[in-house]
Amino acid sequence: MPFLTRDGVRLYYEDHGQGLPVLLSHGFGASTHMWRGQVEALQQSYRLIPWDMRGHGESDSPDDQTLYSHQHTVDDMRAILDHLRLEQAVIAGHSLGGFMSLAFHVAYPQRVQALLLQGCGPGYRNAEARATWNARAEQRARTLETQGLSALGGGSEVRISTQHSALGLARAARGILAQVDARVIDSLPHIRVPTLIIVGAGDTPFVNGSHYMASRIPHATEVVVQNAAHGANVDQPEVVNQAIQQFLEQL
């Protein structure tokens, strides 16, 4: 299994196919496994690079809480591109991974050829809304600490993923899932790369956020997937794969 070690933390990634590179970031509680349907369908035409965030999947779960943050995550993404000698890639992500894809664009816009966002929101401009979100993230962390992986829950993308450390996920909830500022939501009108937004019609918590992003990102394309919930790419892989392929063909 391929690993990249950055500052003593091993990060697991996969590298499938050839052609236009697509860096795939999973959601909270998921892992590289959630992208299996896309890898199998698209690797003949594209280079698909799923990876596991800190605390998730096969990547390390360091004990130090300070090693989990938005900055660590976007720098991990940059390090994978550097390791693979990729100047640019399509930056794609689901849920937390979608938010981190937007955060990566804020930090390293020159490395982004296009954005592909599924089942995610852009964060919050309002401090009170951020505080409410962070209280839920803290509660999730405490539940994982006290009940272990059995408390993880989540949608279809979580159920097909593999986890090893409930404590790593708890630290990821506090450090990566938590919201810290409005940089991402404020960046939406300034995005100039092609952007595809995918959301399941039944993904109630994120449908409005997807509509909001589609209205704020210039020339963004939004696809609402029927008969799908949060893990739209798992619930309706053929529909999502077709939308992704049509989007990538235009680049």
Report the mean per-residue pLDDT for the chain: 97
pLDDT of residue 30: 98
pLDDT of residue 56: 98
Question: How large is the average pLDDT for residues 203-221?
Answer: 97
How far is residue 93's CA from residue 102's CA, in Å, rounded to a whole number?
A: 9
pLDDT of residue 52: 98
Q: What is the pLDDT of residues 95-125, one digit of tens each?
A: 999 999 999 999 999 999 999 999 999 999 9
pLDDT of residue 121: 97
How far is residue 33's CA from residue 189's CA, in Å, rounded to a whole number?
A: 32
Per-residue tokens: 74 = 């976007």
Half-sphere exposure of 212 (CA within 13 A, CB side): 17
- 199 DSSP β-pair partners: 224
- Specify burial of residue 127 (Cβ count, 10 A radius: 0-12, 13-18, 19+): exposed
How far is residue 9's CA from residue 219's CA, in Å, rounded to a whole number?
A: 38
Q: Is the pLDDT of residue 150 over 80?
A: yes
Q: What is the pLDDT of residues 225-235, one digit of tens each?
A: 999 999 999 99
Left, alpha or beta for 61 (phi > 0: left; psi -120 to 50: alpha)? Answer: beta
Q: Is the pLDDT of residue 154 over 90?
A: no
pLDDT of residue 1: 75
pLDDT of residue 196: 98
Q: What is the pTM for the complete model shown?
A: 0.98
CATH class for the region spanning 3-249: alpha beta
How far is residue 116's CA from residue 44's CA, in Å, rounded to a whole number?
A: 19
Half-sphere exposure of 161 (CA within 13 A, CB side): 31
Domain spans in the chain, listed from the N-terminal domain onward: 3-249
Question: How large is the average pLDDT for residues 28-56?
Answer: 98
Question: How large is the average pLDDT for residues 180-192?
Answer: 98
